[in-house]
Amino acid sequence: MKGKIAVVTGAGTGIGQAIALELAANRYTVYANARSEDKIKETIEKGKEMNYEIRPLIFDVSIEEEVKNKILSLPYIDCIINNAAVGVDKEFRELTESDWDKVFNTNVKGCYYCVKYALEKMTTGSSIINISSGAAKTGGDFVSLPYSASKGAINSMTIFFARKLAPKGIRVNAVSPGFVDTRMLILNDKITKDYYKTIIPIGKLGIPQDIAYCVSFLVSEKASYITGQIIEVNGGDIMG
Ligand SMILES: NC(=O)c1ccc[n+]([C@@H]2O[C@H](COP(=O)([O-])OP(=O)(O)OC[C@H]3O[C@@H](n4cnc5c(N)ncnc54)[C@H](OP(=O)(O)O)[C@@H]3O)[C@@H](O)[C@H]2O)c1
């Protein structure tokens, strides 16, 4: 029997790293993406310590030619997790065209390129997970406008592809984290980890593993009737 292959973008840190390790623990051969060998070292090392199959896949998601070459070099793909993303930390009046381009090129077009080429390697039973953000629904109280707008686009793209691909037996869902303790979490004098605890109903920040568990369920057979959903994993920060 063929082993399963997963691709995780932005897998060198935070949530992407946790997803790569969790899928590897579930016996996937994981192609862990980052922009350089150096940036994926830690994930590969952690995988080795656990005897997991994690291999580097080096490309920049915002450069279509790189995505195409690397994704099409794989024999087949059972699931792809579009996790790579960036933000800009600016008030909306200060934003420049290059701020918008940076965020949309990575978060939106990067996801599109990955889906476009991964589909050439997918068959019935494959699945796609896009990592969104609660900021898509709230508008983004703590993050910048291009970031929250890019995650709104991710939600639309998730539903678009879910509809298009359902007849082919390929499922597409988004996992939408709330506030998770990674380097992307906005922290300053006023917005501290203790402050987050006061605004999250469950009373604590999320950890990358919380998101990884949800992803590993959604790509599994157990979720074979779930597609086109934006699943919030957020300690109750956004309900309903
Ligand atoms: N942490 C939260 O509270 C939170 C909340 C909601 C949603 N999310 C989402 O969760 C996902 C993971 O974020 P995180 O919190 O784990 O932060 P993170 O550690 O900054 O993860 C983002 C990853 O994306 C990579 N990346 C950025 N641009 C890339 C590109 N062009 N090509 C390939 N990789 C690229 C980064 O690598 P480099 O080292 O090269 O920059 C980094 O490894 C993101 O989609 C984020 O929007 C996070």
pLDDT in tens, 95-120: 999 999 999 999 999 999 999 999 99
Determine how β-strand 171-177 pairs with β-strand 230-233.
Answer: parallel
Q: Of 113, 117, 147, 196, which one is the catalytic site residue?
A: 147
Those residues with Cβ within 8 angstroms of residue 176's Cβ, 6 or more apart along the chain or in another chain: 131, 132, 133, 134, 136, 137, 151, 155, 230, 231, 232, 233, 234
Q: Is 147 tagged catalytic?
A: yes
Chain mean pLDDT for the chain: 97
**pLDDT > 90 in the chain, percent:** 98
Distance 178 CA to ligand 1 centre (A): 14
At the topology level, CATH places domain 4-233 in Rossmann fold (3.40.50)
3-state DSSP of 108-128: HHHHHHHHHHHHHHCCCCCEE
**Pocket lining for ligand 1, CB < 6 angstroms:** 9-10, 12-16, 33-35, 39, 60-62, 83-86, 106, 110, 131, 133, 177, 179-180, 182-185
Q: Are 233 and 173 in contact (CB under 8 A)?
A: no
pLDDT in tens, 155-185: 999 999 999 999 999 999 999 999 999 999 9
Looking at 78-234, list the stretches that DSSP marks H as alpha helix, in order from N- to C-terminal side: 97-104, 110-118, 135-138, 145-165, 193-199, 208-218
